[in-house]
Structure 1
Amino acid sequence: MAHIMITGGSSGIGLQIARLLVQRGERVSLLARDPAKLEAAKHALQSQYPDSRPVHIQAVDVTDGAALHAAVMDCVASQGAIDTLIASAGMIVPGSFLDQTAGDFNSQIDTNLIGVANAIRAVYPSMIAAGRGTITIISSGAALLGIPGYTAYCASKYGLRGLATALRLEAKPKGVSVCICFPPDTDTPQFRQEIAQRGPETKRFLGPPKPWPVETVAKHIVKGMDAGKGEIFFGFDMMMLDKLGPIIRPILEKAYERRNKKHIGAQEGR
């Protein structure tokens, strides 16, 4: 069975993917910042699947490259060489560019983009040495369009697509495959916290939230990974946004501008 390491594995999409992998007997290591959440995740997985292989956990912040490398070495010592990395660690702090502090902006870039690069850097050399391996990056539908109130988040997720596309070309001749996923709004604890912080501009752009069940998203990701896909999209709308983005994005932006003008007019007419 493969050894699969998941960053951001203590909750949300990462944990649900872990659940599917543990269920089918893979060796799984979970990395996340909060030791208590990791312990809870491990207990939940091993209670649900008592006959599965032991789940290894390691508390670490993906923005700390040296600490992350040490954590990876600990996972290798426990579970063997890493066959697959699933880079799922991420964060979001909604807010317009003007209103958001530099700290909040930079922390999203550091976690969502630099943290993924750190995770890849920690496993990639050993994959090259073995002549095989898979790197799966969890990006977001926010990598397919700009969203007002999500400047830092969009920047980080757009960046992941560039990273994955370039790295795929470098890695394939070395036997390593690179996959990137673009999940829609997904019903996770982070999403429920995020939705309460969305500003009015974001709500006017996106409309009422319609999150996908986390179980559905995780199954789709695992299915795409098993099929060897380089990019994983969710639903017809997301696929069309990818294929016809230069046509669709201006239409969405014009519609948003009209809604904004209507809102401003209503405010002024009070």
Structure 2
Amino acid sequence: MGGGLKPLDPLTLLSISYSGLGGRMQSTAALTVPAVILGAVVPIILLARMWLVSKRWDPRGQHCFVTGGSSGTGLALAILLVQQGAHVSIVARNEERLQKALSRLENHRRNSEQIIEAYSFAVNSEAGSAAALKAASGAHGGRCPDAFFLCAGSARPQFWVEQTEELMKADMDATYGAQAYTALVASKEMVKQGVKGKIVFVASILAYFSIVGYSTYCPGKFALRGLAEALHSEFKLYDIDVHISFPGTIYTPGYEQENKTKPKVTLKIEESDGGATPEYVAETILKGVQNGKFHITGDFIGNVFRASSAGSSPRNSYITDLFYGLVGYIALPVWRSSVDHTVRAHRKEHQEYLRQRGLLERS
């Protein structure tokens, strides 16, 4: 330093300030206490960041199994994984879309050694999920994949009074079973082979709350959250990491399809929702997984709902989650009140809709 003065560490400065400097003691201490805090906290932060970087998950050379991988978020995730050097197996029902997706993945490969395959299976049953896993493992000498990204699922928004037992079961299979069955067969094989990998669920922000129109969609997404919570605890027995993502509206062909049956009042409530591209959601999910996050959210609203609904789940950041939780404590009841007002205002139009559907006697 200029002038030949030897710099003093924060602890030395603090001891001098309290060693009897008369009237200056209080002011000196006031100046040096922040230095002490910075001197203690900054190294901890730097060490923590270095540790996190060293622990960051690298998909390079890993076999990643992606359901719902022929379009939307699943395909976007598969592309990111291929770009980072992973072996990737995508699974979906539609063979034509799968082959188009496979061609896109080939354009992003980093090297000729990467194994990139596509498999046509329905994963909303244990048998279908097991067949898909067996096929994908076959290309790797029977070894189970290292990471499972479970993106399969669909939505069919309607009013509760329009549902039937058959529709309810079909929706539970589409929202819960399509991921739970794959997680079941995957974890059995991972445990059997001693693979210490990852299982990543893709739920929805509607696993934190629900509104009109989603009565058969949200139960499956809430169930996925409950499953992830249980497995996050149980799989510590096997060193298998569990993650779950909660994206909001995603602009995909599936979103366009669900809007065909979505009630008008639901569309009204959602009209201010900006939504996100599959590419953005995929980047958020992969970043969250690489950083070891359990609950993964990708925007301000998602973080508010996550922090407000965390329960005993691990926090992403105690400091920022405190802020998000405070925002939620104040803002979410106000938002919910406005939603309820919108629903009540829809009563007259809704009654006419029910009459047209034969679900309300004409008066």
Q: Output the TM-score relative to the length of structure 2.
A: 0.69
Partner of residue 59 from structure 1, selected from 120, 123, 126: 120
User: Highest relative contact order (Cα 8 Å, sep 6+), 1 or 2?
Assistant: 1
Percent of residue pairs identical: 28
The question of whether the paired residues in 2 share the 8 Å contact of 1:93 and 1:104 is answered with no
SS in 2 for 1:94: coil
Q: What is the CA–CA distance in structure 1 between the aligned matches of 2:346 and 2:137, rounded to whole Å?
A: 55
How far, CA to CA, are the matches of 2:213 and 2:346 in structure 1?
17
Give the counterpart of 1:101 among 158, 161, 164.
164
Aligned 8 A contact 1:10 1:37 in 2:
yes
CA distance in 2, matches of 1:200, 1:214: 25
Identify the range of structure 1 (56-65 vs 150-159) with the bigger mean alpha-carbon deviation.
56-65
The 2-side partners of 1:214 and 1:208 are apart by 19
Alignment counterpart, residue 144 of structure 1, candidates 208, 212, 221: 208
SS for the counterpart of 2:162 is coil
Matched letter for residue 147 of structure 1: I
1:123 to 172, 186, 196: 186
Q: CA deviation at 1:181?
A: 0.2
Instruction: Quote the offset at 1:84 in angstroms.
Output: 0.4
Query: How far is 1:220 from its partner?
Result: 0.8
Structure 1: 5+ residue stretches without partners:
none
Query: Retained in 2: the 8 A contact 1:63–1:114?
Result: yes
Amino acid at match of 1:7: T
Between the two proteins, the alignment pairs up a number of residues equal to: 268
Q: Is the 8 A contact 2:146 2:195 kept in 1?
A: no
Q: Are 1:2 and 2:62 matched, yes or no?
A: yes
8 Å CA contact 1:137, 1:179 repeated in 2 = yes
After superposition, give the CA deviation of every residue in 1:114-170 in whole Å (9 maximum; x if it has no partner): 221210111112322415110000000111111210111111101100000011100
Aligned to 1:244: 308
Equivalent residues in 2 for 1:192-207 (5 A)?
192-207=256-271
**1:5 to 1:267, Cα distance in 2 relative to 1, 3 A:** closer
Which one is further off, 188-197 or 34-43?
188-197
Partner of 1:37: 97
2:305 pairs with 1:224: no
Using the size of structure 1 for normalisation, the TM-score is 0.91
Which protein has the bigger strand share? 1
Give unpaired runs (5+ residues) of structure 2: 1-60, 310-327, 352-363
Q: Distance in 2 between matches of 1:155 and 1:145?
A: 10
Q: 1:51 and 1:259, CA in 2 relative to 1: closer, same or farther beyond 3 A? A: same
| Equivalent residue number for residue 250 of structure 2 | 186
Tell me the alpha carbon deviations over residues 83-141 of structure 1, each in whole angstroms, 9 at most, x when there is no partner: 00111100111101111333332212112212212101111123224151100000001
SS at match of 1:86: strand
Aligned to 1:254: 337
Moved more, 117-126 or 47-56: 47-56
> Cα–Cα, structure 1 residues 267 and 133, in superposed 2: closer, same or farther, change >3 Å?
closer
Aligned-partner Cα distance in 2 for 1:205–1:70: 41
Partner amino acid for 1:22? Answer: V
Per-residue deviation, 1:267: 9.8
